A and B are shown apart, each in its own frame.
Chain A
Amino acid sequence: MSWSRGEDIFGYDENNKLHRAVRLLLLAAVSLAAFILIWWFISIIADTPSVPSPKKTLDALVDLYLHGDRMTHTSLGSYVKSSLATFVKGFMLAIAVAVPVGLILGYSKTLRDLANPVIEILRPIAPIAWAPIFIISMGYTVGPMLVVFVGIFFPLLTNVIFGVRKIDPVWIDAARTLGSSQIQVFYKVMMPSAVPYMMNGVKVGLGVGWMCIVAAELYASPLGGIGFYLAEQATSGYWPGAYAALVVIAVLGLLTIGVADYIHRALSKRMGMDV
């Protein structure tokens, strides 16, 4: 009787789609319940206002949802919309720049060797470190967008380069044998083949991007956004409100990464690649 093989226990059949879904759902429920219990436990041990219980946080979250931010009379929807708007702009810019640059650098060894020193110098710099510089020098509209851009750009770029380099040379040879031009090889073989890797970069970048947008909002209050709400609540000593903001950030991050993961799987499946 084992859980890993699982054909016997509780009549579980690993080949049954419904059984697998129920199993995943149950495990997720247990995991979340354990997380909340541990959180509750820590709030008792810590016994400090800055670690509110899950119940107090839930109350603050419900209050935020129903009444908005009571200090600024701003709705939760407005904060989320503001955060998402900055996030999407930075994300689109990262896609627009990182994908073509990654394809070109993946294709050309000379250009890759030329660009590598610069990439390796800039890549380790935490994107959050750029926040005050971009926001002060570029303003509240462009600055935060660039912070998100930097956060997503490098994971995306390195994955696209990797994806291009992983292409089976036989595919390229076959395309050329069939009369494809250099440009046709580029956009009919290399681009589609790099898509699953690109999506992997997008997934990693999305997580980093959320960290960046929250950091940017801490610096740039006119952006509004859920990061501003978090800072405001912490400064006024209302910690359940600050934790409610964390929950909102977590949910938004989960949703965006979930969508990216779905697209990643769908594309990989369509292209016959294992995920």
Chain B
Amino acid sequence: MEVSKILVLIVAVAVVLAGAAAFFVLKNDGEKDREINLISGVNLEGSGMFIKSSVDIDTMIDTSDGVQYKPAGWGGKVFATPGTTSIQHILLKSVVEDKSKIGLKLLPYQVGTTLSSDTVYYIAPLASSADVLSSAIIDGGMSWQPQLERIISDDSGKFKLLALTNDMFPGHLCSVVAGNHSYTSAHQDETVRFVAAFVKATEWTANALANPGSDDYNKLIDIALEVIGWDDNERNRAEMERSFTVTYVFGENSSNPLSAIKRDIATYTDNLYAMGDILRSSLSDLGFDSTSAFVDKFVDDSYMKKALAANDSDLKTGKNANINVAVITGDIHQIAVHVAKALGYFSDYGLNVTFSYAVNGGVVAVALQNGDSNIGILGSPPIIINVINSELVKG
């Protein structure tokens, strides 16, 4: 090929590239909408720690007055968590690294690691009861319900309950509903109807749990068994009933329905920053001068307010719409969304809700980011970590 031809080719390619770049840059005169917002609460508490049956629990905790930790019993042990951004992992990290509680290091376990008494080790992600029970390495772990109940009820007798997060972190916010802003802002009516159906299902679930033995209670257990994929037999029903250590709350029924959630999200955000190096962007990088300013933008209570104020008959007149919801597999924290589908609350409001299943909250966050799911249900820490690290909310 002649040199002149090559030079012409190079110039032509450069012009095309530069032109295309200018076109796309000018076309994107506004920032793309990649915002993710928290639009509802889901539940409080509902996880717990298990430990090898051979371990004396008294060497690790004292529960005579709340939960007091004994560091010597924790050092050198290996714990499973559902993932490094999961709420279970963050809770474990907070208690292990807190000098007023355990005060040890929390490091990943690697094959060949020599275990040290000044360190607690973790393996993540290791969440399902089947994976946990087949692991030859772990001493214990933290898992969500009903995986926790299955692990401690297994015939092998390998593990027993160490403590529920209800006792270790009383009243802690767990899962939340998050929405892809480009979807929710363009489909406000559909989002309000989704939230309204979710609120209705949450209330139904809480009432059913408050009345053990009632028809609704039995129906809830039926739905939970179906969702988790357990056969309906006496043993599984009993295990599922014991698994409901979860408190279902969407928020508060007032003019400021997500105020408690905003407070908890602010606390989580501050704690995550205090843990160091989990959050890679500062709030000022995102354009906020305070945690509360960030939380006010991140937590959008407008849909909840409209849903709580809406008339049931009005909600049923909306046009039909499809919504994809990313949920965590094998998790009854999120049972209300499955209740809403099973009892026809979504279809009553003209919504055809389909589910995408993820192994942990981090994967739900990715489904929200890439737009595969319109709405997602996940733990508070994974959504905060993803929103800040990927700079998905800006001031």
Chain A residues close to B by CB (< 8 Å)? 1-4, 9, 37, 41, 44-45, 47-50, 70-74, 78, 82, 136, 139-141, 221-224, 228, 232, 234-239, 241
CA distance A50 to B24 in the complex (A): 18
Closest to A47 in B: B32
A48, A78, A222, most chain B CB atoms within 10 A:
A222
A49 CA to B6 CA in the complex, in Å? 36
Determine whether the beta carbon of B34 is less than 8 Å from that of A48. yes
Given known pairs A9-B3, A49-B34, the reply for A71 and B137 (CB within 8 Å) is no
Q: Are A1 and B3 CB-contacts (below 8 A) given A71-B84, A139-B136?
A: yes
Q: How far is the CB of A57 from chain B (nearest CB, A)?
A: 13
Q: Chain B contact residues (Cβ within 8 angstroms of A): what range?
A: 35 or more
Binds A, one of B37-45, B58-66, B293-301, B361-369: B361-369
B17 engages A238 (CB within 8 Å)? no
CB distance from A53 to the nearest CB of B (A): 13
Bound complex: CA of A4 vs CA of B390, how far in Å?
A: 47
Q: Report the bound CA distance from A197 to B24 in whole Å.
A: 49
Pick from B277, B360, B392: contact of A70, CB below 8 A.
Answer: B277
C-alpha spacing A3/B9, complex, angstroms? 15
- B105 CB contacts on chain A under 8 angstroms: 73
With A9-B3, A70-B277 in contact, do A237 and B385 touch (Cβ < 8 Å)? Answer: yes
Q: Which residues of B contact A3 (CB under 8 A)?
A: 1, 3, 6
By Cβ-Cβ distance, the 3 closest A-B pairs, closest first, are A235-B362, A70-B277, A237-B386
Interface centre among B17, B136, B363, B389 (most CB of A within 10 A): B389
Which residue on chain A has the smallest CB distance to residue B31?
Answer: A47
Query: Is A238 touching B110 in the complex (CB atoms < 8 A)?
Result: no
- How many pairs of A and B residues are in contact by the CB < 8 Å rule? 107
**If A71-B278, A140-B111, A236-B386 touch, does A221 touch B391 (CB 8 Å cutoff)?**
no
**B107 contacts A72, C-beta separation under 8 Å:** yes
Compute how far the CA of A179 lies from the CA of B111 in the bound complex, rounded to whole angstroms: 53
Do A222 and B83 form a contact, CB below 8 Å, given A45-B24, A71-B278?
no
Flag if B107 contacts A1 (CB, 8 Å): no
Separation of A237 and B25 alpha carbons in the complex (Å):
24
Any A CB within 8 A of the CB of B233: no
B361's nearest neighbour on chain A, judged by CB, is: A235
Q: How far is the CA of A254 from the CA of B25 in the complex (A)?
A: 34
- Judging by beta carbons under 8 Å apart, are A236 and B278 in contact? yes
Contacts A44-B21, A47-B32; A235 near B85 (Cβ below 8 A): yes
CB–CB A221/B108 < 8 A = yes
A3 to B1, CA, bound (A): 7
The answer to the question of B257 belonging to the interface, with a C-beta cut-off of 8 Å to chain A, is no
Q: Which residues of B contact A (CB under 8 A)?
A: 1-3, 6, 17, 20-21, 24-25, 28, 31-32, 34, 83-85, 105, 107-111, 123-126, 131, 134, 136-137, 276-278, 280, 360, 362-363, 365-366, 369-370, 382, 385-392
Q: How far is the CB of A228 from chain B (nearest CB, A)?
A: 8
| A16 → chain B closest CB, angstroms | 19
State the CA gap A50–B276 with chains docked (Å).
23
Give the most central of A49, A221, A235: most B CB within 10 Å. Answer: A235
List of B residues within 8 angstroms of A71 by Cβ:
84, 277-278
Contact B389 A238 (CB under 8 A): yes
Bound-complex Cα distance A47 to B28 (A): 9
Cβ–Cβ contact B389 & A236, under 8 A: yes
CA distance A112 to B385 in the complex (A): 56
- Tell me whether B280 and A238 are in contact (CB under 8 A): yes
- Cross-chain contact B108 with A237 (CB below 8 angstroms): no
Residue of B17, B360, B390 ringed by the most chain A CB atoms within 10 A: B390
Whether A74 and B390, one on each chain, are in contact in the complex, defined by CB atoms closer than 8 angstroms, is no
Q: Which residues of A contact B370 (CB under 8 A)?
A: 50
Give the residue of B6, B110, B363 whose beta carbon is less than 8 angstroms from that of A223: B110
Hey, which chain A residues are within 8 Å of B386, CB to CB? 236-237
